[in-house]
Amino acid sequence: MERPAWAPSGIDISVPSVSRIYDYYLGGSHNFEVDREAARKAMDFMPGLPKVMQANRAVMRRAVRFAVDQGITQFLDIGSGIPTFGNVHEVAQNATPDARVLYVDHDPVAVAHSKAVLAGNDHTGVVAADLRKPHDILHSPEAAVLLDLDRPVALLLVAVLHFLEDADEPGRAVAELRDALAPGSLLILTHASYEGIPLPRDVAAGTVSVYRDIRNPLVMRSRDEVARFFDGFELVEPGLVPMADWRPETPVDQEDPYAFSGFAGVGRKA
């Protein structure tokens, strides 16, 4: 298998990666055939997956603009993946040029490509770290340079918590991050769920099995289970809702039901 020039040395390009699969769904070019094969298998069960990912990116951009409107200029994006058009720093810095963004991911391709994309942008940085170890993120040299934790931060956990099983204690990780943030900080969160998917649950479960087979379990949580991640935050209107329903900027397109899969919400720390 030929290694593309952009692929960091030392990574196994025969093993699929969720961030590269996500890149493929979004029409990106930083993925390997093994990622595309896994994505196509998942789409055999749930053909609307690219639409789900597009809805996820769209709500992230709306939430970032909301955060800027609330006066927030610091963003911590954990599980940020491979930068694509309209990423957090582009949206935030377009709205306010002095916005600072720290990206965090544990995928070597995502980290390497982020560094390449962000070269020369002094208000951004990237850390190779894992959501399950918030201390490593919060006490990284990059965080020390970019983030002032005494002022409000927008914490983005977008399409990442559903890759943590309950045994990984995702609630503990979110609580540790929350406790490090100043009052007025925002939690921007999206999460996969069987609720809202326009398919019988046993069919949608086929997609979940594909992710399990590549050793990246996809944990579908109920709305009530997702809501628990907002403990210590006050949900802003309209609350925890299907992704397409979170503060849409244009009339909601009811034509593609996949846009209503999963949940999105923004909470404010008191």
Q: Mind listing the pLDDT tens digit for each residue in 30-43?
A: 888 999 999 999 99
Residue 262 near residue 243 (C-beta atoms within 8 A) = yes
Domain that holds residue 160: 18-269
In a domain, 6, yes or no: no
- CB contact at 8 A, 229 and 153: no
The type of residue at 247 is: R
Quick check: is 4 in a domain? no
Whole-angstrom Cα distance, residue 219 to residue 8?
29
pLDDT at 116: 84
pLDDT at residue 145, rounded to an integer = 96
User: Is 60 in contact with 85 (CB distance < 8 Å)?
Assistant: no
Question: Does residue 7 sit within a domain?
Answer: no
| % of the chain at pLDDT higher than 70 | 96
In a domain, 2, yes or no: no
**Where does the pLDDT of residue 2 fall: very low under 50, low under 70, confident under 90, or very high at 90 and above?**
low
- Residue 12 maps to a domain: no
1 pLDDT band (50/70/90 cuts)?
A: low
Alpha helices (runs of H) in the chain, residue ranges in sequence order? 18-25, 33-45, 49-69, 88-95, 108-118, 134-138, 141-146, 170-180, 201-213, 223-227
In a domain, 8, yes or no: no
Q: What is the pLDDT of residue 85?
A: 74
Mean pLDDT, all residues of the chain: 93
Q: What is the pLDDT of residues 120-136, one digit of tens each?
A: 999 999 999 999 999 99
**Has residue 76 been placed in a domain?**
yes
- Mean pLDDT confidence for 193-209: 96
Least confident segment among 44-53, 112-121, 144-153, 173-182: 112-121
8 A C-beta contact, residue 268 and residue 186:
yes
At residue 245 the predicted structure's pLDDT band, cuts being 50, 70 and 90, is very high
What is the pLDDT at residue 253? 65
Numbers of helices and strands, H then E, in the chain: 10, 8
CB atoms within 10 A of CB 6: 11
Q: Report yes or no on 255 lying in a domain.
A: yes
Is residue 21 over pLDDT 70? yes
Number of independent structural domains in the chain: 1
* 56: CATH: 3.40.50.150
For residue range 86-119, what is the model confidence (pLDDT) as tens digits? 899 999 999 999 999 999 999 888 898 899 889 8
Mean pLDDT throughout 165-190?
98
pLDDT at 22 over 80: yes
